[in-house]
Amino acid sequence: MESFTKVKLNDSELKSAVQAAFGEEAVLVSAIELTGGFFNTAYDLELEDGRQLILKVAPSDGTVTLSYEKNIMAAEVEALRLVAADGRIPVPAVYSYDDSRSIIPSPYFFMEKISGQPYNEVKEDYSPVEQAEIERELGRYQRLINGITGPRFGLFVQEEPQAAESWRESFTRMLRTLLEDARELGVVLPAGDEEIWQLLEHYLPALDEVTEPRLIHWDLWNGNLFVQSGQIVSIIDWERALWGDVLMEYYFRHFEQSEPFHEGYGQHFGSRGERLRIKLYDFYLDLIMRIECDSRQYKDGNHIRWASENLKESWKSFSALDSIPEA
């Protein structure tokens, strides 16, 4: 999708970045911009010696982004290296990372080009039985990801030290910052800040049930899941990684209803506190998807309308506290 945040590189910049990473003898023979992403720019590159690479380029420093999006390329590189070191979860290798801005005026990194295709593009090519097995396998990988524990709660890489003593404190800060972004951008939300915070007071105590920081991918939707011959070959786009509550993961959102995923994960969540947190994270993600339409200056009117209607429906569900009984 076209987005204001995307940086376009010319042939000279691409060649300079390749040679800085792989040596003066590295010769770039082809570069194709990948258009599926919403935030970074990505290029599919081939070198004269046959090597195939993916180059990801972050927005330039002057680009207006949401607060939580600061430094998320550094977060992705760090998360990829952490997960690769664990050795049990398939992720692309990181070849080099440069945030010096001496070659191009943005951070960028080169990574392995993986085989396979995004699951969202080929899901319907698989039978229901094959889909179930892929999503069961995803559940198993998701459990492994969430089994990695961290030293603190909060975004994976932050501009300033913002250590939070609790998940409630950390997530409340994330929510407050997001609503401040919406206000600065002039985004019209389904309710005012005061009404939103009054309702949030009924949800926030449930966050106290989360006591251990877990690695959260947060953006593991079907487009970030690469499959081949009915198996998962790689999990990509770790830029939104954070330390938090496992129920923030995408397959717990209202968009997905996959029993095989839960079977693979090996755990179901149904307590009142867990259901409150699920609805809270649904609302938070739906807020982001609407607010980023303005910050990224999307041109796709259909997507903007969808994000607006989705948020309206999310607010209705979020407001229906009586749909979650006390016990």
CATH class of the 11-112 domain in this structure: alpha beta
State pLDDT tens for residues 247-280. 999 999 999 999 999 999 999 899 999 999 999 9
Quickly count: other Cβ atoms within 10 Å of residue 308's Cβ. Answer: 16
Q: Are 293 and 304 in contact (CB under 8 A)?
A: yes
Q: How far apart are CA 106 and CA 112, in angstroms?
A: 20
Confidence of residue 70 (pLDDT cuts 50, 70, 90): confident
Check whether domain 117-323 has CATH 3.90.1200.10, yes or no: yes
**Mean pLDDT across the chain:** 92
Q: What is the average pLDDT across 107-112? A: 96
Q: What pLDDT, on a 0 to 100 scale, did the predictor assign at position 6? A: 67
Quickly count: other Cβ atoms within 10 Å of residue 216's Cβ. Answer: 25
DSSP 247: G
Q: What pLDDT, on a 0 to 100 scale, did the predictor assign at position 35? A: 78
Q: What pLDDT, on a 0 to 100 scale, did the predictor assign at position 61? A: 79
State pLDDT tens for residues 184-200. 999 999 999 999 999 99
Q: How far apart are CA 192 and CA 315, in angstroms?
A: 12
Q: Strand locations in the chain, DSSP E?
A: 28-34, 41-47, 52-57, 94-98, 108-112, 117-118, 154-155, 214-216, 225-228, 231-235, 242-244
Quickly count: other Cβ atoms within 10 Å of residue 152's Cβ. Answer: 13
Quickly count: other Cβ atoms within 10 Å of residue 163's Cβ. Answer: 11
Q: Bigger pLDDT: 2 or 30?
A: 30
DSSP 149: B
Nearest to 197 by CA among 214, 183, 184: 183
Q: Are 118 and 36 in contact (CB under 8 A)?
A: yes
Q: What pLDDT, on a 0 to 100 scale, did the predictor assign at position 295? A: 86
Confidence of residue 63 (pLDDT cuts 50, 70, 90): confident
Q: Which residues contact 1 (CB under 8 A, 6 or more apart)?
A: 35, 36, 37, 38, 298, 300, 303
Q: How far apart are CA 96 and CA 73, in angstroms?
A: 12
Burial class (CB in 10 A: 0-12, 13-18, 19+), 238: buried
What are the residues facing 97 on neighbouring strands?
109
pLDDT over 70 at 93, yes or no: yes
Q: How far apart are CA 279 and CA 317, in angstroms?
A: 8
Q: How far apart are CA 106 and CA 87, in angstroms?
A: 30
Nearest to 315 by CA among 175, 170, 200: 200
Of the chain, the percentage scoring pLDDT greater than 70 comes to 94
Domain ranges of the chain: 11-112, 117-323
